[in-house]
Amino acid sequence: MKSIELIYLIIAALIWIVGYLHNGRFVRPKWKIPGKFIFYIGVSFALVHWLGHWGMIFIIVHPLIGLLFHTKICKENDIDWLTCEPKEKYLELQEKWAKGDFSKSIKKK
């Protein structure tokens, strides 16, 4: 492994950790967390190894797209995108996605 590949993997890990600290506490079930980390780092490593600097596109764009999607969906459902409050509403929305229902909003109570 080249030193630049190691640096890119450290950047990828830091980006993933920041995302986890923001939103990871809501991941259900908890066993998915290490799997998501291994998958993200594995794909990042493969792309950086095979494509060099171009692999950084995935490392930066993948979480950025996730953040944009998260922000849009939270705003559509009256959830604070930064704090994910109200927590119950956010968890209900996440549970709906886990079942494969990606319709825009949750049912109003």
| Domain ranges within the chain, ordered by starting residue | 3-98
Contact 48, 6 (CB under 8 A): no
| Of 103 and 4, more confident | 4
- Taking only Cα atoms into account, the Rg of the chain, rounded to an integer number of angstroms, comes to 16
CA distance 11 to 68: 20
Provide the pLDDT for residue 106. Answer: 58
Provide the pLDDT for residue 104. Answer: 63
Reported as a single tens digit per residue, the pLDDT across 30-46 is 788 888 899 999 999 99
Amino acid identity of 77? N
Instruction: Give the pLDDT band of residue 26 (cuts 50, 70, 90).
Output: confident
Reported as a single tens digit per residue, the pLDDT across 56-105 is 999 999 989 988 988 898 898 999 988 888 988 888 888 887 787 767 65
Classified as helix, coil or strand, 33 is helix
DSSP at 61? H
pTM for this predicted structure: 0.74
